[in-house]
């Protein structure tokens, strides 16, 4: 484990954040989580693009150019010696006495990063997980990866209290995504997922399934809204996220998904995704 704060490496958990940091008071900031595999960042350019997009939307100035950000990620991998793990990066708007409106010119963003190893056996997720469904109670711009995750936190906690891996969220009857992941459904061999609009986070794993893994596996894909009834009649369901990759859902609200086993399309896509991860991607 290695921790970085505003230009230097510090002890993990070091007390260096100002009480007036807007990240602390308002959750006024953005973040990214990038997978480290075989000693390299996986799909770094995708995460970097999403981070800068989040910052543009939030009106947080970019102080670190892309080359330096990439170099910092590489240095953290090298110095920590971690080959299989993830890097968390958080940028908040900066420090000033608490007041809702911000003055961009006066603020210096705060940057916090760490690299940690993945200790759990992720391959177990391939056996499939249980999920519960919950209403999607978030705001209308969840395409921005902000630190404000209250509805996600509450949903994930409800799910874990019921011994589920996570929650599948529904907004006005439409399946949007998971509490910490995107959601795909398979029906009659065709893959479905919610369009990448402002009602879901455009997950990098989702994007790689759509643009690379599904086409390579010869699986047709439709990005369109689907409702609860469609989910209940789906042959297969899965979550996608950076850490777990493609995670089959075999039970939703105690009902088996399809025949209750990990389906063939999900398995094929999992194989394809693992291959891509092993090959690496800039
Ligand atoms: N949706 C939400 C709400 C998330 O928090 C995440 C990330 N954990 C994802 C989707 C998946 O995004 P990614 O594939 O980039 O990890």
- pLDDT band of 211, cuts 50, 70, 90: very high
**Same-domain status, 24 and 136:** no
Instruction: Looking at the structure, tell me whether residues 11 and 26 fall in a common domain.
Output: yes
How many domains does the chain divide into?
2
204 CA: nearest ligand 1 atom: 15
Which of 66, 95, 119 finishes a domain?
119
| Range of weakest confidence among 10-14, 53-57, 264-268 | 10-14
CATH code for the domain of 53: 3.30.470.10
Could you tell me the pTM of the whole model? 0.98
Task: Assess whether 15 and 106 both reside in one domain.
Answer: yes
pLDDT of residue 112: 98
Phi, psi of 281 (to 5 degrees): -150, 135
pLDDT band at 90 (very low <50, low <70, confident <90, very high): very high
Same domain, 84 and 217: no
CA-nearest residue, atom 8 of ligand 1: 180
Please say if 275 is a catalytic residue. Answer: no
H/E/C letters for each residue in 172-197? CCEEEEECCCEEEEEECCEEEECCCC
**ipTM given for this complex:** 0.99
Task: State the catalytic residue, choosing from 106, 124, 145, 275.
Answer: 145
- Tens digits of residue pLDDT in 36-84: 999 999 999 999 999 999 999 999 999 999 999 999 999 999 999 999 9
pLDDT at 280: 98
- CB-CB contact of 181 with 125 (8 Å): no
Q: 97 is in which domain, residue-wise?
A: 2-119
CB 227 within 8 A of CB 255: no
Residues 181 and 223 in one domain: yes
* pLDDT, tens only, 98-140: 999 999 999 999 999 999 999 999 999 999 999 999 999 999 9
Span 226-243, mean pLDDT? Answer: 98
204 lines ligand 1 (CB under 6 A): yes
Residues of the chain with pLDDT > 70, as a percent, come to: 100
Based on the fold, state whether residues 157 and 108 are members of the same structural domain: no
Would you state the pLDDT for residue 165?
A: 98
Structure confidence at residue 187 (pLDDT) = 98
Longest dimension (CA), the chain: 58
Q: Summarize pLDDT for 130-168 with one digit per residue, the tens.
A: 999 999 999 999 999 999 999 999 999 999 999 999 999
Tell which of 71, 98, 119 closes a domain.
119
**Of 60, 91, 119, which residue constitutes the final position of a domain?**
119
Q: What does the pLDDT read at residue 142?
A: 98
As a whole number, the mean pLDDT across the chain is 98
pLDDT of residue 139: 98
- Hey, which of 131, 150, 181, 199 would you mutate to test ligand 1's pocket, going by the most ligand atoms within 8 Å of its Cβ? 181
Q: Is 205's C-beta closer than 6 angstroms to any atom of ligand 1?
A: yes
Q: Are residues 82 and 179 in the same domain?
A: no
Q: What pLDDT does residue 93 have?
A: 98
Non-local CB neighbours of 41 within 8 Å, separated by 6+ positions? 34, 35, 47, 70, 73, 74, 77, 87
For residues 245-261, average pLDDT: 98
The tokens 């992720």 sit on which residue?
A: 122
């Amino acid at each position: 484990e290695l921790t970085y704060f505003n230009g230097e490496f510090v002890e993990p958990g070091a007390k260096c954040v100002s009480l007036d940091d807007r990240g602390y008071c308002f959750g006024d900031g953005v973040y990214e989580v990038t997978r480290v595999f075989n000693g390299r960042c996986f799909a770094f350019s995708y995460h970097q693009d999403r981070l800068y997009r989040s910052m543009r939307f939030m009106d947080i100035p970019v102080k670190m150019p892309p080359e330096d950000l990439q170099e910092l990620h590489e240095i953290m991998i090298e110095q920590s010696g971690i080959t299989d793990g993830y890097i968390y990066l958080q940028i908040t708007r900066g420090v000033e006495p608490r007041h809702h409106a911000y003055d961009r010119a006066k603020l210096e963003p705060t940057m916090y990063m760490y690299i940690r190893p993945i200790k759990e056996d992720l391959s177990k997720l391939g056996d499939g997980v249980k999920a519960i469904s919950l209403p999607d109670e978030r705001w209308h711009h969840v395409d921005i990866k902000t630190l404000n995750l209250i509805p996600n936190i509450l949903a994930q906690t409800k799910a874990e209290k019921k011994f589920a891996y996570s929650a599948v969220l529904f907004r006005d009857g439409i399946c949007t995504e998971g509490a910490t992941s995107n959601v795909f459904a398979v029906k009659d061999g065709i893959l479905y997922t919610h369009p990448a609009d402002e009602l879901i986070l455009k997950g990098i794993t989702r994007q790689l399934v759509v643009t690379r893994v599904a086409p390579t596996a010869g699986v047709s894909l439709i990005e369109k809204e689907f409702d609860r009834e469609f989910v209940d009649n789906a042959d297969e369901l899965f979550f996608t996220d950076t850490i777990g990759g493609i995670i089959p859902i075999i039970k939703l609200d105690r009902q088996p998904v399809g025949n209750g086993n990990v389906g063939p399309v999900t398995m094929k896509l999992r194989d394809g995704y693992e291959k891509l991860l092993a090959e690496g991607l800039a």
